[in-house]
Amino acid sequence: MTGRARANGEGSIFAYRNGFAAYSWVRTPAGRRQKKWVYGKTREQVHDKWIVLQQRAKAGPVANRVPTLGEHLHYWLDEVVRPNLAPLTYQTYETIVRLYIEPGLGAKRLDRLQVRDVQTWINGTARACQCCVQEKDVRRPPDKQRCCAVSRCCQTTISPRTLSDIRGCLRSALGQAVTEELISRNVAAAVKLPKVRSRSNRRQAWTSDEARRFLESARADDDPLYAAYVLILVLGLRKGEVLGLTWAAIDIDQYAVKITLQLQRVSRQLLHRETKTEGSDAALPLPDICVAALRLRCGAQQGARDAAGSAWRGNDLVFTTRFGTPIEPRNFNRSWDARCRKADVRKITVHDGRRSCGTLLADLDVHPRVAMQILRHAQFALTMEIYTLASPEATKEALKRLGASLDQ
């Protein structure tokens, strides 16, 4: 029979097997009062743990069973992220958990996860060749293996942006654990990442001449996506918003359009759903060039419907394939790139086309607050970041005026 071994003031500490044990009465998140035990090899270790347990018990409910990080992540994805956030957000978080967090930290118990554990793990993740870690090369056909399968590491490390997303995902999951009182603090919030220079200097935007050449080339070739290009460059619509635009949202007679939906490819599904944020929803006036382009698109779509006959699978979408089905976002990217080549203009991304709208507004001296409403940015700082990408001509003219004002 194990005897009681307590020093004065230590409370419920017992000799237990090859060490010591102690308990304290706690209240669980379910509201029940029960014993919570701590263990250790020495009396001092148990006493320190017991003091911490007493403090936690006084501060609030204490979980009677703490899950591992992997168990909590699966719960968080299924019960918190999937029902409440966008499908694309869920897919992004699920990928990060599956590829990075769970393999490295999933076996750790939540309450035993320390800042040092997470910092060491994330530093190692940043240095590791992901081709080797995820065994990508092993799954390739023998004639295409080029990395760890042939004992030659390709050093494919993750980008700083991905590293930041990984930390953000873990911080969000642990934040939920804090909310549910499974742990007392979010250790991921204290993890440091290398400082990365802003990519704003590498972002691109067209001049008004380049944008004009691009649109003139598309119109001259009767490009079925000409109106989509106009809406991106003139109204600053996002790719998903253009592809998800319906005729019901357009009032050509009143020269207005309502942006409320977007088209997204999520895993194997093409989803027609609400826009990115509530701030993205807006009613915008349509300039003459947009109305003219949409009238052309309406006529072209009617011609495609007549040509397809019974094969037409159309709905109310403005931009469709020749059989009326939605346009794949990646195919839209390919069409954009092909038009850049045909128009002989600098190749930029579709999102850079939206950014071009902002820089052209800046060159026209449109007030940033007005541009913010047109571009439907949630934060004014984002609009100002785009405004810093003023064209070289505008920059040259501004410096010329500054020099003239000082040379008096």
Q: Are residues 256 and 339 in the same domain?
A: yes
405 assigned to some structural domain: no
Last residue of a domain, one of 196, 221, 253: 196
User: Distance between CA atoms of 233 and 215, rounded to whole angstroms?
Assistant: 9
Residue type, 290: C
Residues 220 and 117 in one domain: no
Q: Which amino acid is at 264?
A: Q
Range of the domain at 54: 13-59
Same domain, 225 and 280: yes
Classify residue 386: in a domain, yes or no. yes
Are the beta carbons of 275 and 281 closer than 8 angstroms? yes
Query: How would residue 298 be classed by pLDDT, with cut points 50, 70 and 90?
Result: very high
pLDDT tens-digit map of 149-200: 677 777 778 888 899 999 999 999 999 998 887 887 899 999 999 876 555 4
Name the CA dihedral angle for 342, 345, 351, 356, rounded to a multiple of 10 degrees. Answer: -140
Same domain, 99 and 132: yes
Q: Give the amino acid at 28.
A: T
Asked whether the predicted pLDDT for residue 105 surpasses 80, the reply is yes
CATH of the domain at 345: 1.10.443.10
If asked whether residues 232 and 131 sit together in one domain, one would say no
pTM of the model: 0.68
In a domain, 406, yes or no: no
pLDDT tens by residue, 238-284: 899 999 999 999 998 888 888 888 888 887 788 888 876 665 566 78
**Does residue 203 fall inside a structural domain?**
no
Residue 286 lies in a domain: yes
Distance of CA 31 to the CA centre of its chain: 37
Shared domain for 334 and 283, answered yes or no, is yes
Per-chain mean pLDDT for the chain:
82
The better pLDDT of the pair 116, 374 is held by 116
**Same domain assignment for residues 313 and 378:** yes
Return the CATH number at 98: 1.10.150.130
Q: Do 102 and 133 sit in the same domain of this protein?
A: yes
Whether 118 and 183 share a structural domain: yes
Query: Domain count of the chain?
Result: 3
What is the structure's pLDDT at 1? 40
Has residue 212 been placed in a domain? Answer: yes
